[in-house]
Structure 1
């Protein structure tokens, strides 16, 4: 057992001190800081302080004030200015950068407002949509006054219809609980996805690197393949937890310092405050099992290649499985009770993401979640036994990789030992 811990801590510390790990961690922390400070960064580069200045040419002489009132209700960051010059002068002011655009207001034949908007480009759909919405609301008010509708009648006309939803299933989640669960599931799906992609690849690279240095021939003679394989898997698993903890701590502190709404608690703001403990427990279980499943697969795939350059090609099918599970889970966020989602949740390589999605979004009987966990455990054990045999023979194979044909060759080498 002593050799197991030696390999585990050697893998962990060696990777922790490596330049690639340190640089990757620093770059990712910088990205996390940038994303959590995105509003401040945008304002820093925006000479107008985040506000869009728009010139208004009011040909009617009556529409500017009510239009400005409607637009400010929709978006306070749009700064409308009544322009006293000609249309050509307003266009030149836009070209100089004094205004984001110019909008011309006028009455049509029915004495209702219409407009023309001009800007250097029309890619900013948000600004155009806000201006159009403001004008639409103004038109509705003027049209209502023309047909003598009182403000109370107009308000009643546009009042949202009452439409309540009730679940007949016993103990079904409420709308609020579903929104909370959806937020947690969304975050955890991304964590599982990126963790598997990053750290399973790292395991395969670690094995291939040791093979290329011929260190493996010494190790394999003194340490059993299962000990060696799982020592590396757990070592890099600890490394992943260290890196993820750093990202989460930095992100939390940055959000707390930059968003007033986060002062009440990050999880409260994003709907995570009342998540059941059971859902969080399932999230941890499926994350760990998903990691071990793909890490075991990556370890013996990495043992089949002799050059680091061949690693990516060998683990590409595994990557496709992870991407496939992630895409199915994204679809399942909108329809977690679909038959397709239910069936794929029992396919081992999709279970970590999709079964957790169902557990988080639906009220499932306990046996379904337990069955998913049992399928994962059985798959990991079977993969570990098979993988250890491939690993033992694969680490002694050198030369150009011939993809999955090498699995048979590795098994034959194991038998001959």
Structure 2
């Protein structure tokens, strides 16, 4: 049986890995950032000077301060009154004007200009100027002013039965990044490979090749062989990106963006990382077995989308529950969902990353998902063997319910 299993798995793996569609699937995520970078580069080169032009109304001191301190990325000029400023906006000579009255600022910007003002950036710049003016009024030195602006030195740590460890926003942000990546990877791989295994089975059934295959091997060998073959393709897909990321991080180690990403990854909790990898493996295998079961009920290629659509919806429930429930993280429904197999696959990593679930809760959810994997795999043997040579005209969902009853 082992030789037959190896033969089926190898045949599925070799057939798919040689196809252009597989490598197009693998490389497509790389094309997206490349295209975005190219579009951004073209826009930057063709848009010319994007520095906004700002006129300050009847305030020579503010004009001089903005020009000298350069706290605002804009071309600063002065105008005598609001009427003149408005006319300059209509004539497209400036992009906006700033008025200070009774200690309050008003920024009027053009709606037709190619460049826009960022409210937060302008407010920050004006706040710095106000702070400097107040410091001068109260006769504070530059050292005293700097001391007032220095934020409090705070270190966040977490305490558990295992002891004290580093924590805080840095750790949570790193863990949340990993959990988001895991959820996206699971969803992306599921969309690709559940569809692939469904098409593989549907193609063999519709072309009647399955009869020939089962004459040489058993349904059980075909069932597990296809799962192993698709699993090897997923492993190849993941390893391709692991090698690519490691190579890029080494070759671009001096790049500022790469440095920031690496610093964030260094903050990832090791226990969380191990759990995420285990949940990724167990979750993907569970969905592959479930897809193989549903796909065995398919008669031809036209039914593939009908078969995989419920699986796609199921895979998004956990991820969407995590996003929608972010405002009510301690909701009892979310806590219950985090222990339900197939839903927990994408929900638990996000809850664990923000410390809404404990590591014990996470491993309980993982154990339940592993049990569900074993049950679905064993249960699938019977359904696959029964339906792989069956060509019923009934709807797939109805056939599935009939199989559950039996």
Name the TM tier (shorter chain). Answer: 0.7 to 0.9
Match of 1:209 among 196, 203, 213: 203
What does 1:4-403 align with in structure 2 at a 5 Å threshold? 4-34=5-35, 38=37, 41-47=39-45, 52-60=50-58, 61-68=60-67, 72-73=70-71, 78-82=73-77, 87=85, 88-89=87-88, 91-93=90-92, 102-108=95-101, 110=102, 113-120=105-112, 127-139=118-130, 144=134, 148-151=137-140, 169-170=160-161, 171=163, 174-175=167-168, 176-250=170-244, 253=247, 257=252, 260-261=255-256, 268-269=262-263, 271-330=264-323, 339-362=332-355, 368-398=361-391, 400-403=393-396
Following superposition, the deviation at residue 125 of structure 1 comes to: 6.8
Contact 1:33 1:251 in 2 (8 A): no
Contact 2:338 2:365 in 1 (8 A): yes
CA distance in 2, matches of 1:33, 1:247: 15
Structure 2 vs 1, CA of residues 69 and 322 (structure 1 numbering), >3 Å: closer, same or farther? farther
Contact 2:290 2:380 in 1 (8 A): yes
Give the SS at the match of 2:266: coil
Structure 2 vs 1, CA of residues 381 and 131 (structure 1 numbering), >3 Å: closer, same or farther? same
Number of aligned residue pairs: 394
Unaligned segments of structure 2, at least 5 residues: none
CA distance in 2, matches of 1:158, 1:44: 40
Q: Deviations over 1:46-78 (max 9, x none)?
A: 1478963112223323322323456x446xxx3
Following superposition, the deviation at residue 289 of structure 1 comes to: 0.5
Q: Deviations over 1:290-317 (max 9, x none)?
A: 0111000011111111122222222222
Contact 1:178 1:361 in 2 (8 A): yes
Q: Deviations over 1:154-203 (max 9, x none)?
A: 77877767887665644365214333322222222221222222222221
Contact 1:55 1:103 in 2 (8 A): yes
Following superposition, the deviation at residue 287 of structure 1 comes to: 0.9
Structure 2 vs 1, CA of residues 219 and 11 (structure 1 numbering), >3 Å: closer, same or farther? same
Structure 2 vs 1, CA of residues 50 and 16 (structure 1 numbering), >3 Å: closer, same or farther? farther
C-alpha RMSD over aligned residues: 3.8
Give the SS at the match of 1:116: strand
Give the SS at the match of 2:109: strand
Q: Deviations over 1:108-128 (max 9, x none)?
A: 2x3654332214169x77634
CA distance in 1, matches of 2:380, 2:67: 68
Structure 2 vs 1, CA of residues 259 and 45 (structure 1 numbering), >3 Å: closer, same or farther? farther
Contact 1:333 1:357 in 2 (8 A): no
Contact 2:63 2:77 in 1 (8 A): yes
Give the SS at the match of 2:10: helix
Unaligned segments of structure 1, at least 5 residues: 95-100
